[in-house]
Chain A
């Protein structure tokens, strides 16, 4: 891939925009199509593009496999943790309304943001782990 100048320059320009778009889709899930899974897939696609153009080793220096493998259960724990916190604050499981005293709508807003963040982390890390594992084999 060393001699594909156009590919390298264009992807260097595009990857930051892909990541920003993923972040936009993540935050925009309340008001339009979006949310954790879609944003995680877009962000993972951006990193996979980086790996395809610049080689697996450069990508693994930028996004280390250890971080990615730890991220998979961390997102699940964030999601389940929000639910358990709701239990302790007196509501049912995943009843976000109790997160903010007296304002159920604010509580639900906060709950959804946290939960979608957990989903984003898990989906992003899972897709990247799958990519790293598949591309690392057969060497």
Chain B
């Protein structure tokens, strides 16, 4: 069965999602989802070990040989992302039971778990597949289930947010398909590896460049690169807490993976970064994202919206690493994919706990809760320090490598911008800490306690991960570095 793992990791969530749609009882669906996330996590770990021993795994669907058949290809980067997605799915799932009960109506909870499983299936499918059009299919599977998950939010603004995300997300996916169609016209194949080989002689044709432009723009909408990020704040703010935590950690990261796959493996390092102005364009947009995201976050009163704009800024860091076009820069990006998933997942889970206990996520309502919910707010301080880039936390590791990548190009100004934007993070995170710890609780406000133990346990798993993976970087940094070398080495 081991050689079928690349397919089983997709099919098991799909079948379980269909079973949840049949069963629709909350406890049955919860246990089914739990079993599936455990299975996916174990499969991810096994796949990573297999890939580290034996090299890239290739699985032919229906035993039709690639490049004519659809191929599932698991290499180091794919296994790394599989682990991130399945870990976040499992942790958010166990954490989310109380918040789901609090925020979603009883007859919709079975559907929630079904959609959660379908979203997991779609996200992992994008990572595992080696076919460009199959990636579109899984992209839409995950996106459609995400729209439904967001629309299950508590108030009516969730519906408008889901609709806006639907329009923008579908535009992005359709642009991606247009790009793939143009590439298919030039080469006649859809297999990502074969596209990379066959595009060699026709790289400078106008059709290929147009295809690349469409693919980059379409994926930029999906990964919320500034200025195409408009759907993200509304979607993250109004979705249920568990959904926000899961989406913030995984959804944009998978689109970033697909962008990296296209830029490095299909178009090749030399063409994409040296012959076209893509790297300058992405560099400018990343820096704009870093500053615009942090600036707008400083003025938000809603905690979830502030963290959503902070996500926009952090995505700017990741794409900055791509634009830096060097091994260190790419390593910084790939390691930040994992680290940001952990940090933002932890932060949104903490906010979910606050929402559950206090009943509101407005910063002005959080005065003085630091003394009454110490575990939660200390976790917030640690995760905030990690976002800042304090040495010893994961944030420092990614910023260090991004700075190294900038040094390779003698771009001192980029390093300066990195430092300045980190100071902005200090301002908006510090504001929350100041309100929570240094202001007295207003008279007559009800006493709040820390959220239930199981929620705290899951949240602190991630918070502890922020510190542990900042000190013992062998897994994240080692895998990212090897993956970066494979990506840059394979393409040139």
Q: Which residues of A contact B (CB under 8 A)?
A: 70, 72-74, 76-77, 80-81, 83-84, 87, 91-97
Complex contact A93–B11 (CB within 8 A): yes
Complex contact B22–A94 (CB within 8 A): no
- Please, which residues of chain B bring their CB within 8 A of the CB of A93? 4, 7, 11, 59, 61-62
Give the residue name and chain of the A residue nearest to B6 (CB): A93
Sorted from nearest, which 6 A-B pairs have the closest CB atoms? Answer: A73-B18, A95-B63, A73-B21, A94-B62, A93-B7, A76-B18
Complex contact B62–A72 (CB within 8 A): no
Q: Does B356 contact A (CB under 8 A)?
A: no
Which B residues between 1 and 47 are near A, CB-CB below 8 angstroms?
1, 4, 7-8, 11, 14-15, 18-19, 21-22
Complex contact A77–B19 (CB within 8 A): yes
Q: Does B168 contact A (CB under 8 A)?
A: no
Q: Contact check: which of A72, A80, A83, A92 meets B59 at CB < 8 Å?
A: A92
- Please, which residues of chain A bring their CB within 8 A of the CB of B11? 80, 83-84, 93
- The answer for the CA separation of A84 and B15 in the assembled complex, in Å, is 10
Give the residue name and chain of the B residue nearest to A104 (CB): B63
- The answer for the CA separation of A96 and B63 in the assembled complex, in Å, is 9
Give the residue name and chain of the B residue nearest to A88 (CB): B1
Pick from A70, A80, A97 the residue with the most CB of B within 10 Å: A80
- The answer for the CA separation of A93 and B1 in the assembled complex, in Å, is 11
Indicate the size class of the contact surface on chain B.
Answer: 10 to 19
Give chain B nearest CB distance to A54 CB in angstroms: 29
Give chain B nearest CB distance to A105 CB in angstroms: 14
Pick from B7, B14, B63 the residue with the most CB of A within 10 Å: B63
Give chain A nearest CB distance to B36 CB in angstroms: 13
Interface of B is mostly: helix
- Please, which residues of chain B bring their CB within 8 A of the CB of A74? 18, 22
Complex contact A91–B22 (CB within 8 A): no
Q: Does B60 contact A (CB under 8 A)?
A: yes
A94 and B18 contact, Cβ closer than 8 Å, known pairs A80-B11, A87-B4: no
Give the residue name and chain of the B residue nearest to A87 (CB): B4
Complex contact A92–B62 (CB within 8 A): yes
A91 and B21 contact, Cβ closer than 8 Å, known pairs A77-B15, A80-B11, A84-B11: no
Complex contact A80–B18 (CB within 8 A): yes
Q: Contact check: which of B4, B19, B62, B63 meets A73 at CB < 8 Å?
A: B19
- Please, which residues of chain A bring their CB within 8 A of the CB of B61? 92-94
- Please, which residues of chain A bring their CB within 8 A of the CB of B4? 87, 92-93
Complex contact B14–A92 (CB within 8 A): no
- The answer for the CA separation of A84 and B16 in the assembled complex, in Å, is 13
Pick from B8, B11, B21, B62 the residue with the most CB of A within 10 Å: B62
Give the residue name and chain of the A residue nearest to B20 (CB): A73
Q: List 16 A–B pairs whose Cβ atoms lie within 8 Å, in order of A's numbering.
A: A72-B21, A73-B18, A73-B19, A76-B14, A76-B18, A77-B19, A80-B11, A83-B7, A84-B15, A87-B8, A92-B7, A93-B59, A93-B61, A95-B63, A96-B62, A97-B63
Give the residue name and chain of the B residue nearest to A72 (CB): B21
A80 and B14 contact, Cβ closer than 8 Å, known pairs A92-B61, A93-B62, A95-B63: yes
- The answer for the CA separation of A80 and B17 in the assembled complex, in Å, is 12
Compute the total of residue contacts between A and B using a CB distance below 8 Å: 48
Interface of A is mostly: helix
- The answer for the CA separation of A72 and B4 in the assembled complex, in Å, is 27
- The answer for the CA separation of A73 and B14 in the assembled complex, in Å, is 10
- Please, which residues of chain A bring their CB within 8 A of the CB of B14? 76, 80
Which B residues between 43 and 84 are near A, CB-CB below 8 angstroms?
59-63
- The answer for the CA separation of A74 and B4 in the assembled complex, in Å, is 24
Give chain A nearest CB distance to B34 CB in angstroms: 19
Give the residue name and chain of the A residue nearest to B118 (CB): A76
Q: Contact check: which of A73, A80, A87 meets B22 at CB < 8 Å?
A: A73
Which B residues between 194 and 234 are near A, CB-CB below 8 angstroms?
none
Give the residue name and chain of the B residue nearest to A92 (CB): B63
- Please, which residues of chain A bring their CB within 8 A of the CB of B7? 83, 87, 92-93
Give chain A nearest CB distance to B115 CB in angstroms: 12
- The answer for the CA separation of A94 and B1 in the assembled complex, in Å, is 15
- Please, which residues of chain A bring their CB within 8 A of the CB of B15? 76-77, 80-81, 84
Give the residue name and chain of the B residue nearest to A98 (CB): B63
Q: A92-B61, A93-B62 are in contact. List 18 more A-B contacts (CB 8 A).
A: A73-B21, A74-B22, A77-B15, A77-B18, A80-B15, A81-B15, A83-B7, A83-B11, A87-B8, A91-B63, A92-B4, A92-B60, A92-B62, A93-B4, A93-B59, A93-B61, A95-B63, A97-B63
- Please, which residues of chain A bring their CB within 8 A of the CB of B63? 91-92, 95, 97
- The answer for the CA separation of A21 and B263 in the assembled complex, in Å, is 47
Give chain B nearest CB distance to A114 CB in angstroms: 14
- The answer for the CA separation of A42 and B21 in the assembled complex, in Å, is 25
- The answer for the CA separation of A95 and B60 in the assembled complex, in Å, is 9
- The answer for the CA separation of A81 and B19 in the assembled complex, in Å, is 12
- Please, which residues of chain A bring their CB within 8 A of the CB of B1? 87
- Please, which residues of chain B bring their CB within 8 A of the CB of A81? 15
Give the residue name and chain of the B residue nearest to A77 (CB): B18
Give chain B nearest CB distance to A98 CB in angstroms: 9
Give the residue name and chain of the B residue nearest to A81 (CB): B15
Give the residue name and chain of the B residue nearest to A75 (CB): B18
Give chain B nearest CB distance to A59 CB in angstroms: 23
Complex contact A70–B62 (CB within 8 A): no
- The answer for the CA separation of A83 and B59 in the assembled complex, in Å, is 14
Give the residue name and chain of the B residue nearest to A108 (CB): B62
